[in-house]
Amino acid sequence: MAPNPSETWTTYKVGWQLQKVIGTGLYLYPILMTYYKSFIYMFLDYNKKWDKSIKTKLLPIEGTITEDGKSLTWYDYSMFDVEHTSVADIASTDTLVLTTLTWDVNETTVWFEAGDQIMIVRKEGSTLANERRTINSTTNVNLVLNSVVAIEIWDKVIRLYYVQPQEQEITRGQSLFNYKEFKSYFQNFGRVVSFTKTELNKQYLIEKDAKTYVSTIIGHNMSILLQEFGRAVWTGQNVAVWSTVAWSKPEMLGIDTAIVEMAAKDASLILDLKDVIDDNAKIEALFEAFDLSWASWAIQNGETLSIACNQKFLRALTRLKKDQLTYNDSITEINFKIFKFNSEFSSVEFFHEPTLDKLYQGSLAYILPKSLMCMKFRDNQNLDDKANITKAKAEISFIRKINNIHDKAQFDMFFEAATVLWGLSSGAYRKIMNLK
């Protein structure tokens, strides 16, 4: 029982202050607001009034996200991009004249059907004109056209529409979802905080001094946990709790990890400018990356393209396009400064992400569809001293460790989080390196 502070010559002990913390939650919000406003901007709902708890952002696919206690699973790309089910890239190496278009996947019967009108949309710079054809028949991998057509590498096949005859039965079958399943595992972030018998019984004449000592130890470790969390957001390897041979330490799906994996199929997702010398060529390549993200259909209509970057990228961009950058824009809800790149056609916003300064020594930036990203914190339920289940909250849990060490008090600090990166397969997420 702590003494009555009104007594004369009352002293205060660290142990008494710890009793007030045990079993409670340590809020993430104050540290995020101090050190990681960029994460609030990327992943959380900063438009709602906050108290001490965080408000996770709700995505349009919220109802399709499933949680099994270890991971989050979502169906990617099907709900916002109907165009993908009617577009295909031609990957032949020479100009071909043919009536049968062949895919290397067994999905043409899902995308196209006999009677569909298609257009061959030529690659940029082609000397050939766009051409229309009608599909006569389909197989799992082939489209048989009504007449021959010349095809070049990187031409696109666009399904225009199906022509329904008048006064006849509708026979065109339904279009099916084309989606990929993505998963992000909950990653555990934890520390053991210890206080020796001497530290627990050290007496302070002023209660504030005891509180300061406790808050310094706990706050320092909270900061380290948030630092680790910040680096996992970018570099988490998406490791499952259970592998084929043993239990593993789970890791969330990091943004960089996801882009690198998707770039194995589409190399344009990573733009490395280290060998580009001419400044105009650098800007042209940068704008091309922006255009590809906008064309992905993951960027919502009217949404400003968001670029998370380190200081070296901002400095290089300032040198190249100083006249088109504005510095006076900020998100007032969280007092967070952003930089806007304005042209006569579009607007792109850049914001500094401090973690990227540590992860790469050159300039580094990521194009992100911010409206499709969120962070989920697993609610940790525990038993109190009366064996009642405590209320689940998204916070850092602080729980007394039960062991046989009698001259030291140890406490577990932990929380669990997972990313949701909707639209990964759309091509909206991109990485830009070495802008100088």
Tally of structural domains, the chain: 3
Cα-Cα end-to-end distance for the chain: 63
Name the domain boundary from 177, 202, 227: 177
Name the residue among 124, 427, 432 with its Cα closest to residue 297: 427
Q: Is residue 411 part of a domain?
A: yes
Q: Are residues 193 and 66 in the same domain?
A: yes
Q: Positive or negative CA dihedral for 12, 14, 17, 19?
A: negative
Residue 423 backbone class (left: φ over 0; alpha: ψ -120 to 50; beta: rest): left
Q: Is residue 347 part of a domain?
A: yes
Determine the Cα–Cα distance for residues 431 and 260; give it in Å rounded to an integer: 9
**Separation of CA 214 from chain center:** 34
Q: Are residues 428 and 324 in the same domain?
A: yes
Q: Is residue 4 part of a domain?
A: no
Determine the Cα–Cα distance for residues 255 and 265; give it in Å rounded to an integer: 16
Q: Are residues 428 and 336 in the same domain?
A: yes
Q: Are residues 303 and 363 in the same domain?
A: yes
Q: Which residue's entry shows tokens 């329904």?
A: 164
Q: Are 256 and 366 in contact (CB under 8 A)?
A: yes
φ, ψ for residue 34, nearest 5 deg? -85, -45
Q: Are 36 and 30 in contact (CB under 8 A)?
A: no
Name the domain boundary from 160, 177, 194: 177
3-class secondary structure, 420: strand
What pTM was computed for the model? 0.76
Q: Are residues 351 and 223 in the same domain?
A: no
| The one-letter amino acid at 231 | R
Q: Is residue 365 part of a domain?
A: yes
Q: Are residues 69 and 189 in the same domain?
A: yes
Q: Is residue 44 part of a domain?
A: no
φ, ψ for residue 299, nearest 5 deg? -80, 120
Q: Are residues 58 and 111 in the same domain?
A: no
What's the full length of the chain, in residues? 436
Q: Are 4 and 190 in contact (CB under 8 A)?
A: no
Q: Is residue 199 part of a domain?
A: yes
Q: Are residues 326 and 429 in the same domain?
A: yes
Q: Are residues 243 and 197 in the same domain?
A: yes
Q: Is residue 261 part of a domain?
A: no
Determine the Cα–Cα distance for residues 181 and 52; give it in Å rounded to an integer: 34
3-class secondary structure, 199: helix
Q: Are residues 281 and 369 in the same domain?
A: yes
Q: Are residues 380 and 364 in the same domain?
A: no
Q: Is residue 47 part of a domain?
A: no
Range of the domain at 201: 12-36+54-77+181-251+376-420
Q: Are residues 67 and 204 in the same domain?
A: yes
Give the pLDDT of the chain (436 residues) as one tens digit per residue. Answer: 455 544 444 556 666 566 665 555 567 766 777 778 888 888 877 665 555 555 666 776 676 788 887 888 887 754 444 454 445 555 554 556 667 776 544 455 567 788 888 888 888 788 889 999 998 888 766 778 888 888 887 788 888 888 888 888 888 877 666 567 788 999 999 988 888 877 777 776 665 566 777 777 887 888 888 889 999 999 999 988 765 555 678 899 999 999 999 898 888 899 999 999 888 888 889 888 988 888 777 776 667 788 999 999 988 888 887 665 555 566 666 667 777 766 555 678 888 899 999 999 999 999 998 888 888 887 666 666 666 666 555 677 778 887 777 778 888 888 888 999 988 888 889 999 999 8
Instruction: For residue 122, give every residue at least 6 positions away whose Cβ sits within 8 Å of its Cβ, in sequence order, or none.
Output: 128, 129, 130, 152, 155
Q: Where does 169-231 show beta strands of DSSP type E?
A: 180-185, 187-196, 203-204
